[in-house]
């Protein structure tokens, strides 16, 4: 097939978790293709912007039950990704992925979770899913559960993906493009040759797709460590969560979900509130605000898209195609491997069918 042709050239825009995962998977699927990432920011960027979402994630895996989900496809994508993440945790502990229990507390549970029973599959096969007993629930919580999840130290993991790609002959060019289509010209002008396939994993920065919105997230990184990830959803719509970062990366205390809020600086009042809530809801972690060993405040913009993750082909003409992989919202890590598999499948298809698409 043509992708095995040594001259096949592919450009991936973006080196967030989406672009990096696609790049790694392509390296194994298309061993002879020439693959370049073009990205404004990469895991080696010293002070990443709020727009580079991958640097600001927790990140944990928190399933959203199939039945309560308007985008059913994501449930399966999360299961598939978990399968691969578990394998990475097992064979490459330096990647910063670690299996650990996940706990959820809901003050206001939707119907869909109330029907779940201990033993149901929630996060994957053998996830030890268990609905908590009434007497195990903290004050104010009406429903809770426990299961096997995983957490990711995101700076470490992103760097690991980047290094693996570079070590397998991948190329990374730091450059800010004005549009995805500009990548075709940029490649020719900069000696990368004629490129027929561009994969658009740009998060939100081109700002062309009116369906892309941002959801601001502010969190606090503290030095203290914890052995599980806990999420509490409150009646008033606020969230409180703890996400340990493996390999002694401390713990993320979160977090806000502020739609369309462009404030790039951390708000001191928000930090205070997050720490106060952590003490109130998770006293077995750190039992007074004064005791927190704060490393830093984080602000990131989740690249959310109305209608969901966009994974599809757009044909510019006979021999120029753009494949999209953006709009992961708050789930870019936990959907990453499955998203990459879908994108790679589309590349294969697009290259086979060629002009007919
Ligand atoms: C507070 C917070 C908590 C989160 N927690 C979790 C979690 O627990 N689990 C989870 O799975 N997800 C979580 N997320 C979401 C996750 O961070 C995102 O879904 C994910 O990082 C999106 O990755 P991406 O690669 O699509 O985009 P990004 O990470 O935004 O990457 C975009 C890339 O494209 C490049 N780019 C953009 N525009 C241009 C341009 N014009 N020219 C060249 N390059 C360009 C950028 O430089 C960057 O390299 C969280 C996010 C936040 C903010
Ligand atoms: C590429 O991705 C961006 C999101 O960053 C989106 O706005 C845009 O419509 C996509 N396509 C093109 C051709 O730029």
Cα 39 to chain centroid, rounded: 17
Cα distances (angstroms) measured from residue 129 to each of 63, 126, 141: 11, 8, 18
Residue nearest to atom 15 of ligand 1 (CA): 330
217 Cβ contact list (under 8 Å, min separation 6): 56, 254, 255, 256, 257, 258, 298, 299, 300, 301, 302, 330
pLDDT by residue for the chain (357 residues), tens only, comes to: 455 554 589 999 999 999 999 999 999 999 889 999 999 999 999 999 999 999 999 999 999 887 755 678 899 999 999 999 999 999 999 999 999 999 999 999 998 899 999 999 999 999 999 999 999 999 999 999 999 999 999 999 999 999 999 999 999 999 999 988 899 999 999 988 889 899 999 998 776 788 999 999 999 999 999 999 999 999 999 999 999 999 999 999 999 999 999 999 999 999 999 999 999 999 999 999 999 999 999 999 999 999 889 999 988 777 888 999 999 999 999 999 999 999 999 998 877 544 443
Can you give the length of the chain in residues?
Answer: 357
Give yes or no for residue 208 CB within 6 A of ligand 2. Answer: yes
Q: Tens digits of per-residue pLDDT, 286-320?
A: 999 999 999 999 999 999 999 889 999 988 777 88
Cα 294 to chain centroid, rounded: 24
pLDDT at 354: 41
Shortest-distance ligand to the CA of residue 304: 1
The DSSP element (H or E) to which 132 belongs, if any, is none
Question: What distance in angstroms lies between residue 139's CA and the mean position of ligand 1's atoms?
Answer: 35
Say if CB 79 and CB 126 are below 8 A apart. Answer: no
pTM exceeding 0.75: yes
Question: What distance in angstroms lies between residue 309's CA and the mean position of ligand 1's atoms?
Answer: 12
Side-by-side strand order, sheet with 171-174: 171-174, 34-39, 9-13, 197-200, 320-326, 310-317
Cβ burial 79-91 (10 Å sphere, 16+ → b, else e): bbbbebbbebbee
Question: What distance in angstroms lies between residue 152's CA and the mean position of ligand 2's atoms?
Answer: 27
CATH numbers and ranges of domains, the chain: 9-352 (3.30.9.10)
Following DSSP, what letter does each residue of 168-201 receive, concatenated?
Answer: TT-EEEE---SSSTHHHHHHHHTT-----EEEE-
Look-up of token digits 């899913």: 129
Residue nearest to atom 12 of ligand 2 (CA): 180
Give yes or no for residue 209 CB within 6 A of ligand 2. Answer: yes
**211/231 Cα distance (integer angstroms):** 28
């Amino acid at each position: 097939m043509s992708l095995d042709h040594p001259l096949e050239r592919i450009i991936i825009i973006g080196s967030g978790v989406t672009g990096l995962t696609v790049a790694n998977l392509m390296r194994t699927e298309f061993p002879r293709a020439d693959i370049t990432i073009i990205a404004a920011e990469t895991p080696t960027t010293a002070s990443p912007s709020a727009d580079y979402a991958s640097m600001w994630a927790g990140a944990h895996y928190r399933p959203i039950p199939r039945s309560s989900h308007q985008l059913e496809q994501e449930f399966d994508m999360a299961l598939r990704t978990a399968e691969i993440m578990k394998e990475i945790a097992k064979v490459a502990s330096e990647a910063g992925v670690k299996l650990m229990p996940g706990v959820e507390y809901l003050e206001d549970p939707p119907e869909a979770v109330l029907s779940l029973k201990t033993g149901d599959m929630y996060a994957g096969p053998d996830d030890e899913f268990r609905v908590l007993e009434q007497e195990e629930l903290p004050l104010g919580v009406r429903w809770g559960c426990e299961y096997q999840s995983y957490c990711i130290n995101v700076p470490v993991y992103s760097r690991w993906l980047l290094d693996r790609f570079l070590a397998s002959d991948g190329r990374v060019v730091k450059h800010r493009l004005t549009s995805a289509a500009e990548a075709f010209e940029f490649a020719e002008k900069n000696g990368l040759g004629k490129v027929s396939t561009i994969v658009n994993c740009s998060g939100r920065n081109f700002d062309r797709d009116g369906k892309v919105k941002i959801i601001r997230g502010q969190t606090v990184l503290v030095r203290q460590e914890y052995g599980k990830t806990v999420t509490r959803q409150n009646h008033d719509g606020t969230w409180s969560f703890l996400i340990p970062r493996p390999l002694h990366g401390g713990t993320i205390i979160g977090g806000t979900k502020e739609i369309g809020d462009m404030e790039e600086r951390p708000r001191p009042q928000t930090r205070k509130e997050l720490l106060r809530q952590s003490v109130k809801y998770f006293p077995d972690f750190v039992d007074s605000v004064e005791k927190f060993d704060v490393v830093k405040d984080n602000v990131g913009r989740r690249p959310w898209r109305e209608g969901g993750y966009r994974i599809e082909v757009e044909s510019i003409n006979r021999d120029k195609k753009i494949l999209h992989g953006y709009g992961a919202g708050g789930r870019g890590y936990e959907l990453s491997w499955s998203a990459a598999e879908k994108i790679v499948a589309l590349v294969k298809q697009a290259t086979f069918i060629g002009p007919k698409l």
